[in-house]
Amino acid sequence: MLKKILIANRGEIAVRIVRACAEMGIRSAAVYTEPDRFSLHVKRADEAYNVGADPLEGYLNPRKLVALAVETGCDGLHPGYGFLSENAELAEICAQRGVTFIGPSAEVIRRMGDKTEARRAMTAAGVPVTPGTEDNLADVNEAVTVAAGIGYPVMLKATSGGGGRGIRRCDSEEDLLRQFDRVVSEATKAFGRADVFLEKCIVNPRHIEAQILADSHGNVIHLFERDCSIQRRNQKLIEIAPSPQLTPEQRAYIGEMSVRAAEAVGYENAGTVEFLLADNQIYFMEMNTRVQVEHTITEQITGVDVVREQIRIASGLPLGYRQQDISYRGYAMQFRVNAEDPKNDFLPSFGKISRYYAPGGPGVRVDTAIYTGYTIPPYFDSMCLKLIVWGLTWEDVLERGVRALNDMRLQGVKTTATYYQQILKHPEFRSGTFDTSFVESHPELTQYSDKSRPEDIALAVAAAIAAHAGL
């Protein structure tokens, strides 16, 4: 078993990993750049090291991070999600320096990070993919020719893309000609590669993903699926497990295809296989070679600690579960509560949190790194916290979500919490028949009332008095 882990990340995922280490008797070492000096992950880890004044550079320098791991006696490195979590170079340097990378091999990361290579691998394994190019596009003329063959609309995507970046929908040849250079430019800036490919656009699909775990002993299992269809501009907002939209046959098929995909590439550790579902057809979209933001809801319905299993697998241990041991109970839902103003086109709302009270009660979990007095820096993702609720039935989880969002108090910045309450009340969402077009199809949900509740006013007054008194 690993003895000490460097956590090459920040915020709530770093706190999540610290907690897993504490439960396993493993020492944790946090890293931080200057804006994160007072972040919760720094306070909670056993050790913490400053990796620079620049807000981002320290989190994005693989050689510096691995060198720090070696210098501080860490035998493992957990990349979390985002930043360098899917960076093959980081995994390679870890292997060279004798530090265990808690994730798949550099070869698998590189192979699955290349979207065209991933498509070829899935096709060879018998996993269905959307019609499109098998290789990168040579130029815009080839893009026009391919699009004419498969029919519009099409999706133009960065080969090394992720996180909703480097992707454009094109509804006509004129649209494709206009968007091509933009996608190439965005791909180059965001991922350092100008390569793009093209595939058929599946209009208004359901976005379904499956959590897999694979060890070094040849065991691969899935932990059922999550529905990530509630998203804005390809960024997930609300995730649900299991999907309320699948039949038992579809659920079994997606689980089978996910295991097959992992086996086909020799995958080890935790990963996610993402699919699009439309007209009863299921298509492979991509494979994420890291822990997902929304792993929490899988944990809630299955009872499997995904981060703990990541560490066990990286330590060379076999999976603690067989497929027949895995079942699910009830529904779980995660809300990404972002520091954004939904009434102002989701403009970021960074600043100091004057008051924060976490919701609680049965079936409620909060993963976060914020606290009263914490200042949300403008350099990173705008997510403040992840609110996770569980209920035995679909109706239970809906009502618990409304209640938990209403319980929460987060003042000093604008957030998406009230917007999520509007979604939960909408008949289309409550019926479980939504797809990826839901947010764009219902702009009226951002036009909610901002009337303050009496208790909110009282809290604001108390905060002002406390600040004036120097408390």
**pLDDT digit string (tens) for 315-351?**
999 999 999 999 999 999 999 999 999 999 999 999 9
Q: In this structure, are strands 76-78 and 4-7 parallel, antiparallel, or unpaired?
A: parallel
| 456 pLDDT tier (thresholds 50, 70, 90) | low
**Residue 290 appears among annotated catalytic residues:** yes
The stretch 50-59 carries a mean pLDDT of 96
| 162 pLDDT tier (thresholds 50, 70, 90) | low
φ, ψ at 171 (rounded to 5°)? -100, -5
Average pLDDT across the chain, whole number: 94
Distance of CA 450 to CAs 347, 380, 444, Å? 16, 27, 14
pLDDT at 65 over 80: yes
The stretch 94-106 carries a mean pLDDT of 98
pLDDT at 453 over 70: no
Domain 4-102 of CATH type 3.40.50.20: yes
| pLDDT at residue 469, as a whole number | 54
| 189 pLDDT tier (thresholds 50, 70, 90) | confident
The per-residue b/e assignment along 127-163, b for 16 or more CB within 10 angstroms, e otherwise, is bebbebbeebbeebeebbebbeeeeeebbbbbbbbbe
DSSP 266-291: T--EEEEEEEEEETTEEEEEEEE-S-
Q: Percentage of the chain with pLDDT > 90?
A: 88
pLDDT at 407 over 50: yes
Start-end of CATH 3.40.50.20 domains in the chain: 4-102
| pLDDT at residue 467, as a whole number | 47
Going by C-beta distance under 8 Å and a sequence separation of 6 or more, which residues neighbour residue 453?
Answer: none
- For tokens 């649209």, the residue is 175
| 191 pLDDT tier (thresholds 50, 70, 90) | confident
| 194 pLDDT tier (thresholds 50, 70, 90) | confident
Domain 206-446 of CATH type 3.30.470.20: yes
- For tokens 């791909």, the residue is 187
- Compute CA 204 distance to the chain's CA centroid, rounded to the nearest angstrom: 21
What stretches of 183-262 adopt beta strand conformation (E)? 196-200, 206-214, 220-232, 235-241
Distance of CA 198 to CAs 111, 158, 187, 207, 383, Å? 18, 9, 14, 19, 31
| pLDDT at residue 134, as a whole number | 84
| 193 pLDDT tier (thresholds 50, 70, 90) | confident
pLDDT at 269 over 90: yes
Q: 186 near 172, Cβ under 8 Å?
A: no
| pLDDT at residue 462, as a whole number | 53
| pLDDT at residue 183, as a whole number | 93
- Compute CA 406 distance to the chain's CA centroid, rounded to the nearest angstrom: 24
The stretch 154-159 carries a mean pLDDT of 92
| pLDDT at residue 461, as a whole number | 54
pLDDT at 459 over 70: no
From the list 168, 206, 251, 290, the catalytic residue is: 290
Domain 131-200 is classified in which CATH homologous superfamily? ATP-grasp fold, A domain (3.30.1490.20)
Which is more confidently placed, 314 or 448?
314
Start-end of CATH 3.30.470.20 domains in the chain: 206-446
- Which burial class, exposed, middle or buried, applies to 444 when counting CB atoms under 10 A from its CB (0-12, 13-18, 19+)? exposed
The stretch 306-315 carries a mean pLDDT of 98
